[in-house]
Structure formats: C-alpha cells, structure tokens
A = this chain, B = another copy of it.
Amino acid sequence: MTTLYPNFSFDIHKKDAFSDARLGTIYTPHGKVKTPAFIFCATKGAIKCATIRDVKEAGTQIILSNTYHMLLQPGAEIVRSLGGLHKFLGWDGPMLTDSGGFQIFSLGHGSVAAEVKGRRKNTRPKTLLSITEEGALFKSYLDGKKHMLTPELSIKTQHDLGPDIAVVLDECTPFHVDKSYTARSLNLSHRWALRSLSAFKKINNGSQALYGISQGGIYPDLRKITAEFLNEQPFFGQAVGGSLGATSEQMSEVIAMAMEPLRKDRPVHLLGIGSYKDIFEGVARGIDTFDCVHPTRLARHGGALVLPYLFGKDSINLKNAQYKLDTNPILENCCCHACQNHSRAYIHHMLKAKELVAIQLLTIHNIAFMNNLMFSIREAIASDKLKNLKNKWFNT
C-alpha cells in the first residue's frame, strides 16, 4: 500500500469513548482534511451559486466533482488539457470525484438519487440502456448520445480530471431489487473493482488515491462479504454505497452492518448523505466524510440551515413573511459573510425581488454552517463529548 499511495496517509488521532466515531486527518497532495468532514458538491464544475472564494472563506476543506457530469460536459479530455479539475475550478485544496456510476444508475432508473435511495417513484425518462459485464451503456442527458462507462474508462476519466481521491465504478442497485439481484450485483461490482484497481495501478503516478465501495444493499451477510473483499484489496479508503434502505432508521442499521466488518485503518466516505441526524449517526458508526447537495440545494429554495435545538427544525425558509422586518442575521453568532453583513429581512426582500444575491448569501451560510457543524463534531470527539453534542442538537 505504501507504494500505491506514496503521497497519501490517514491518521486516526483519537477514538471516541462511547461510539465508533474517530478524529482523523486525511493527507493528500493538495493538503489535509480533518475528519469527520463534509464534502461539498461542485457537480458540474462549480459549487452552485458560489465563487470558489466564497467556498474557501466559508471554511471548506474538500469538494467533489461528479465524473458523470464532467465526462459529458465539457469532457474529461478538455478538463485535462486545461490542467485538470483543480486548475479548472481554481480550487487548490483536496478534491474527490465519484466514479460516474451513481448518476448513470440513478438517472438510469428514472430519477436522480430518489430511486437508489428508495424514496420517490420514477419520474424522469430512463437513460440507462444496459448493464453488462463490460460496463454500463447509457444515453447522455444532454444530447442523447450513447456512452459506455467501463471501470477502466471511469479510472481513466478520473485520472484525466485529476482529483486527489477517485472512486471505483460500481452498480448502484435500486431499492426495489431483491437479495439475489443484490448478490449478483455485488459480485459484478467486485469484478469491476478489481478491474478498476488494475487500471488504476497502470495509470497512477502517485497523485491519486482510490476508494472501493461497500455493496450488499440491506443484507447483513452481503455487507460482510463486501467488507471482506474490501479489507483485502489495496484501496486507500472506502465508500459505503449501494441501497441504504428506505428510511433514516433503516439507513442507520445498514450503515452499522456495513461498517462493523470493515477494517478500521482506512477512511470511510458515506455517499450522498447530509441531514444532521444522519451525519451524527454516521459519525458514531465511524464514517469520516459525507457529501450531499442538500446545503446548496436548500439555499436555492430560500432555505437556511439553523440549529435544531434553537429553532425546533433543521432549517428556516427566508421567503416566509415573518422575516420581512427581521433585522437579525440568519443565525446569531455565525461568522459567515451572510450573517456578518446581512439581516434575514434583506435576504427575504431579495428573494422576493428575485435578486440572486439572496441565493448566494444562503449558499455561503449553508456551507459555513455545515463546516461549523463538522468542526463541533470534531471538537466533541476530541473532548469525549460527542454524545452530549448529539443530545444537545436533538434535545434528547
């Protein structure tokens, strides 16, 4: 492993006394990530409605970009010829790309994320044409052109994009499939993971680290099989993927069964999860990093993240008339640019006037809020107060 990832390491500084939570640092060629950490989504090459300066100044450690989107527009070759994602985005910190699989399968099954996460009915046209041993054949959401994404192409694409952390291609099984499908899919994903590793070894120059993905859906024995596979392969870290169940409670159980058999010396990422409750649950299970579009998407709908123990809810919507004359910042004591310079009333009126600055300010706040939450969690682990922090947040 030292030869495969000469410029990476993961240190665990402290383990929580009351849970599997741990305080760590991921070292990458573009700097370190103190964990637990939140990864913000620059899906198509930008954090929506924020300049990279805004993102940095809101305390962000690490961002990700989606291979699927970059592959289709502008194309990985173009990003490479422009110097790679870091240069392209103007971001000099740690960065991750996913494999491209999640979007292919979630769009492919008819909606982004909803079906894989088991939540909504299909509403969008299906773009996934077929899954074969070779890879996944899909139609571009932009122009309908057919593309075949193989494990090798995903690795090549992520190599061209040049993030610090790359992820293997897997089949993201939808929620509704049964155990035998999940088991077949797990085996396919494992064969793809080996092909990914093989392609990675050939192409890597020390600038990237590769994550495997835990498969197995909601089935404990399959989660154990996938953990044994991951534990033996020379991945730098792993992501918990596959179906996590239909509810927050089920997800918590699935994460527990996925994490329990995994080796503890590698960083673990939880894909696409971002609610406070799920983050606290995940941290307590040993998850080191999270990503989700929720903070930035919420901002685009007028929502600001707030402290549930003060507000009785996770967010407030500044469109509401109650903020018309409210001279308070979104959140008292928040040090973000929005809270330091503007009132709720200002954001309310700018939302009404359809001035984009409202979305920009909410985006900045929500990014800063998530970074502050993760900071609080790290501080709590450091002082063995994680349980107290969780109790405070949820009034339990």
* Residues of A near any B CB (own CB < 8 A): 44-54, 69, 73-74, 78, 81-83, 87-90, 324-325, 327, 337, 341-343, 345-346, 349-350, 352-353, 355-358, 360-361, 364
Contacts and interface: CB of A to CB of B under 8 A. Distances in A.
A223 to B, nearest CB: 36
Nearest to A50: B357
Copies of this chain assembled into the complex: 2
A44 B353 contact: yes
Contacts of A360: 49, 51, 360
Nearest to A74: B349
B45 A356 contact: no
Contacts of A78: 324-325, 345, 349
B82 A49 contact: no
A341 B53 contact: yes
Given A48-B357, A73-B349, A82-B343, 11 more contacts: A46-B355, A46-B358, A48-B356, A53-B337, A73-B352, A73-B353, A78-B324, A82-B325, A82-B345, A83-B327, A90-B341
A337 B350 CA distance: 24
A337 B45 contact: no
Contacts of A356: 46, 48-49, 356
Contacts of A352: 73-74
Contacts of A349: 45, 73-74, 78, 88
In the A-B complex, the 4 residue pairs with the smallest Cβ-Cβ separation, listed nearest first, are A90-B341, A46-B357, A46-B355, A74-B349
Give the most central of A89, A327, A360: most B CB within 10 Å: A360
